[in-house]
Amino acid sequence: MSFNSLAFAIFLPLVVLLYYRFNLKQQNLLLLAASYFFYGYWDPRFLTLLLISTIIDYWAGLYIQRCVDTGKPEKRKLGLMLSLFSNLTLLGFFKYYDFFVRSADVMLAKFGLSTSLPILNIILPVGISFYTFQTLSYTFDIYRGTLKPTKNFINFALFVTYFPQLVAGPIERAANLLPQLEKPRVVNQDHFYKGIYLILVGLVRKVVIADTAGSLVENYFNNPANYSGEQLIIGLFLYGLQIYGDFAGYSDIARGSSYLLGIELMRNFHHPYFAVNMTDFWRRWHMSLSQWLRDYLYIALGGNRKGKARTYLNNMLTMLLGGLWHGASWNFVFWGFLHGLYLAVHKFFRNLIPYKKPATKNWAYYIKYSVNLLFTLCLANFTWLFFRSKDVATTKAYLAGLTRLQWDIPMAALPLLFLTFLILSIDLPQAIKNDEYAVLKLNWIWKALLACVALLLLFICGGYRAPFIYFQF
């Protein structure tokens, strides 16, 4: 079930209305049933994988804690290894089996060899990368001693399957979500207004901005040879708007839906295109994933504790695996490599020239800020070429097309400017006020006017319902 579908427009109000009538235990049972229905709406067969992952990690968490409580902490590694092996095996088989077999065939063919392994054309379960990382973080935290496992299977199952964030995040930590599931919740007026606001903003980001940009981006990537370099550059920036509007829109709707249930999910985006370097970008973009990679991969590799050269290598390895997490394609691997390179280069120059906070924000400061912002924006949007291309051949054709400059400004820049204006109209007031809910503090006339504009745009653009990009991950 997709957030931009008629089915969800019926499903969410029904769940919310029933939810308000129940006590805590009934609410959790309702949310669990609703979450399984929400996920099974795509394909009921995928529920089996979700249930297997839930049972294994529930047991693994209890086993790890039992080893600690009985004075046998050295045996707790068995529970962690079971969780890692089972989750990564399921993820590896369903997401990467065909990719590795095809890659092995290509490599061995160069030496006149071939594999006997068949291509299975496996259907990727929706959201498997997200809920796999979420359950793994649970067992990791128990193993590290920073979290106690829950003994209530219903609450744990709900933590794994909670429908607002099940399919595309944010990737929640048990320390944040589980306590909210275990205690009574009150939906007050503040929760309700924030929920409705985030859902509306999320729909505008997705339906009006992302889907409009996506309908234009399709042409550039299907036939890059037909366009000039300037047009292909515009295509890249349009895709930058599409993926931001699409994914941030999903996260907004997820958080808004959860607010209506009295449960607060973490923020997943913080105006990433206002970043002034690539390290700053990853503090703002897909924040739940970047924090997961930092806490469970980068630090495990040694972080910045083993010298500068090792720090740069750890950045590279972390982002390479982060790229592969997104999809079984060499394009995603190279996308991760580029971001790892960006981060390593930024850390190198930061170590070479330590940052000094300016005493005052004068004109020189704002010029430097603007240059850094534009440079970072260009770096980030260039990497979207590898993220969006369906294969290496498309990437090569697009890269070749970028060199065909005609030194003019095509008419295709007009929709880019309009969609950029829409994005800025949402993000800029929030950034200036440093308040995500700044709009809610306006007087009722302005709020009513902005709501009418948003609904009008949704009505005009709502005929085309594209799937969310991150459903494929």
Residues with a known catalytic role: 326
Fill in the DSSP letter of residue 5: S
The token pair that represents 161 in the structure block: 């399957």
**3 state SS of 99:** helix
Q: Check: CB of residue 16 under 8 Å from CB of residue 256.
A: no
Token pair 């319902």 in the structure block, residue:
465
Which residues in 101-124 are b (16+ Cβ under 10 Å) and which e?
A: eeeeeeeeeeeeeeeeeeeeeeeb
Query: Measured between alpha carbons, how far is 379 from 248 in angstroms, rounded to an integer?
Result: 20
Query: Measured between alpha carbons, how far is 56 from 54 in angstroms, rounded to an integer?
Result: 6
Q: Check: CB of residue 49 under 8 Å from CB of residue 90.
A: yes
In terms of Cα–Cα distance, which of 348, 324, 328 is closest to 336?
A: 324
Q: Is residue 415 reached through a cis peptide bond, with omega within 30 degrees of 0 on the bond before it?
A: no
Q: Check: CB of residue 221 under 8 Å from CB of residue 389.
A: yes
264, 266, 272, 278 alpha-carbon torsion, rounded to 10°: 170
The token pair that represents 264 in the structure block: 């607060």
Query: Measured between alpha carbons, how far is 370 from 351 in angstroms, rounded to an integer?
Result: 22
Token pair 């504009």 in the structure block, residue:
453
> In whole angstroms, how far apart are CA 464 and each of 8, 210, 460?
16, 11, 10
Q: Residue 11: which H helix or E strand, with range?
A: helix 6-19
Token pair 């394609």 in the structure block, residue:
329
Token pair 């009574």 in the structure block, residue:
184
Query: Measured between alpha carbons, how far is 135 from 56 in angstroms, rounded to an integer?
Result: 10
Q: Check: CB of residue 68 under 8 Å from CB of residue 145.
A: yes
> In whole angstroms, how far apart are CA 409 and each of 220, 227, 237, 413, 415?
16, 13, 14, 7, 13
